[in-house]
Amino acid sequence: MKNICLISTGGTIASKRNPDTGLLTAGLMTGKELAGKCDLPKDINLTVTSVFQIPSNRMDFHYLVELKEKIEEVFLDDKIDGIVITHGTDTLEETSYFLDLTINDKRPLVVTGSQRGPEDIGSDAFVNLRQSIILAASNTALDLCTLVLFNEKIFNAKYVEKVHSSNVDGFNSPGIGYLGLVDGEEVNFFQKSNKVEHYKIKEELPEIEIVKCSLGSSDIFIKYALQTNVQGIIIEGFGRGHIPPKLMDSVKHAIKEDVVIVITTCSHEGKVKEIYDFPGSLYDLKKSGVILGGDYNSKKARIKLAVLLSAKENTEGKFEI
């Protein structure tokens, strides 16, 4: 018998239709209601708890820490074999990566959600939850990173992205692919991550903001971020990690003010790399003290920088992992 804990946080997977508006209200269905419709295998014993019930557009750093602490509390019980988190899809990819960086336990931790509400025709709520519970109970999922389960596919938390706003096949890992599949009650891994890292946060997660570049972008958002006393800025640049040259003066000023800046690429595949030496190039940025963001997208880089700063870790080389 496997003992799995389901932690519910709300989201579309826990939504009900509002009879007044005809629209979904996220977080109204309890974890017990969801689990009761999953027809789980008889060798799985499920316990259910809720940490909060919110739409995931409300997720913030405070909620992330609260969820982390709840998971750590559940894992204090040696009888628990794995944990499943139900979560809204809007910020699921960021929450899962935060947990991947901060939860250090060999037992499976699986994050899932749904693109359609439980009362919708063709809902993916119950099948995603059922397969996530089966995955969390599998010995093949031991000692891995935090996993995301969607539409039968198993994803690495670092690379998973929401790639479609509504389709049930809405999550993927561009350029990387999925790690495996849950086919009925059978768990199959085709690849596994060989890069696992964990950090212990020591203080409140700092304010980190993202500045996205586009053709002719000005430095107005970097200047404003400095006025609000952010501790870090993620710049989402072009291609190999380039930005409009008119931003460079503000970038240099921010670094002099001890604001940590990481440069990432807007491309879904590939990493930032020094290829050119023109103004605003990655070479120019690195020379000015900007951290190279490797193959991280801007949202994942933001989560990682917040964790590193909170953990009092040196950021050098950490975005090459």
Band of residue 282 on the pLDDT scale cut at 50, 70, 90: very high
Q: DSSP 3-state assignment of 77? A: coil
Question: Region 140-159: what's the mean pLDDT?
Answer: 96
β partners of residue 71:
none
In a domain, 317, yes or no: no
- Structural domain of 300: 208-312
Helix, strand or coil, per DSSP, at residue 260: strand
Q: Average pLDDT in the 36-54 region?
A: 92
- Domain end call among 189, 223, 245: 189
For residue 62, what is the domain's CATH number? 3.40.50.1170
291 occurs within a structural domain: yes
- Res. 194: pLDDT tops 80: no
Q: What is the pLDDT of residue 24?
A: 86
Task: For residues 254-269, give the mean pLDDT.
Answer: 97
Contact 191, 142 (CB under 8 A): no
Contact 181, 173 (CB under 8 A): no
Percent over 70 (pLDDT), the chain: 100
pLDDT given at position 145: 86
Catalytic position from the list 12, 95, 102, 265: 12
Q: Is residue 142 part of a domain?
A: yes
Residues 156 and 255 in one domain: no
Mean pLDDT over 41-60 rounds to: 95
Whether residue 32 is predicted with pLDDT greater than 90 in this model: the reply is no
Rounded to an integer, what is the distance from CA 45 to the centroid of its chain?
Answer: 27
Average pLDDT of every residue of the chain: 95
Per-residue pLDDT band for 33 (boundaries 50, 70, 90) equals: confident
In this prediction, residues 184-213 reach a mean pLDDT of 94
Q: Residue 50: which residues within 8 A CB-CB, separation 6 or more?
A: 7, 8, 9, 30, 31
Total number of domains in the chain: 2
Within-domain flag for 128: yes
Q: What average pLDDT does the segment 87-102 reach?
A: 98
**12 labelled catalytic:** yes
Site of tokens 């750590």: 72
CATH number of the domain that residue 241 is part of = 3.40.50.40
pLDDT over threshold 90, residue 101: yes
Alpha carbons 234 and 261: distance in angstroms, whole number:
6
Residue 116 has pLDDT above 80, yes or no: yes
